[in-house]
Amino acid sequence: MAQVEIVCEPRFINSHSFRTTMSKFATGVAVLTSLHEGQRFGMTINSLTSVSLDPHQILVCLNQGSATGNAIRSSGRFAVNLLDRDQQDVARSFVGRDAKRFDCTACTTSVAGLPLVEGALAYLVCRVSDILPSGDHDIVIGDVVECWQRDGEPLVFYSGAYGSFESDALRLRACGTSA
């Protein structure tokens, strides 16, 4: 039987080992947007999870100091833009204090007027259903009121780096082999 290497015993868990361990969970990348008092807010996230099918709900986990999180709390609504593999620049432009955000990102608007990032793979527009503080983050649960998706490939975040996803079926077809 294969040996399981225990890298971090409980007493050695710290912020670095926790982040590094969680970085082995590959995720998609999204830009979360909101609109409050006429001002657009946006940040890159990867903490998105679907919660419920009936009603249609998702959740995101937001740092309690986040400006976008404050706008979501005040306005009660937000949009999730799931990024395409070619949108690494968009992901980078919604991170950090000096991020250019909407200055360098083309947007349209949802029916409810929320900013939608052009070229995204999918959108979910939500009304806030609940906000649950947990540790230094808020778990924001949203009822999905609009959603849209197209075929394409997602931007992926793994081990602290951006990349792309290739399905085994597509790879095998390209090699002329069936799955």
Ligand X SMILES: Cc1cc2nc3c(=O)[nH]c(=O)nc-3n(C[C@H](O)[C@H](O)[C@H](O)COP(=O)(O)O)c2cc1C
CB atoms within 10 A of CB 42: 26
Q: Which is nearer to ligand X, 111 or 161 (CB)?
A: 161
Q: Which is nearer to ligand X, 19 or 171 (CB)?
A: 19
Q: How far is the CB of 41 from ligand X (least distance, A)?
A: 6
Q: Which amino acid, one-letter code, is at 121?
A: L
> Are 164 and 155 a contacting pair, CB within 8 Å?
yes
**CA gap 138, 134 in Å, rounded:** 6
Q: Which is nearer to ligand X, 68 or 87 (CB)?
A: 68
Residue ranges that bind ligand X, judged by CB under 6 A: 29, 43-47, 61-63, 66-68, 95-96, 157
Q: How far is the CB of 172 from ligand X (least distance, A)?
A: 29
137 dihedral zone (left: phi>0; alpha: psi -120 to 50; beta):
beta
Q: Which is nearer to ligand X, 11 or 24 (CB)?
A: 24
Identify the three-state secondary structure at position 15: helix
**CA gap 123, 142 in Å, rounded:** 13
**Of the candidates 166, 138, 159, the residue with the CA atom closest to the CA atom of residue 74:** 138
Q: How far is the CB of 93 from ligand X (least distance, A)?
A: 10
- Please list the residues that pair with 115 across neighbouring strands: 109
Q: Which is nearer to ligand X, 95 or 169 (CB)?
A: 95
Q: How far is the CB of 25 from ligand X (least distance, A)?
A: 12
Q: How far is the CB of 95 from ligand X (least distance, A)?
A: 4
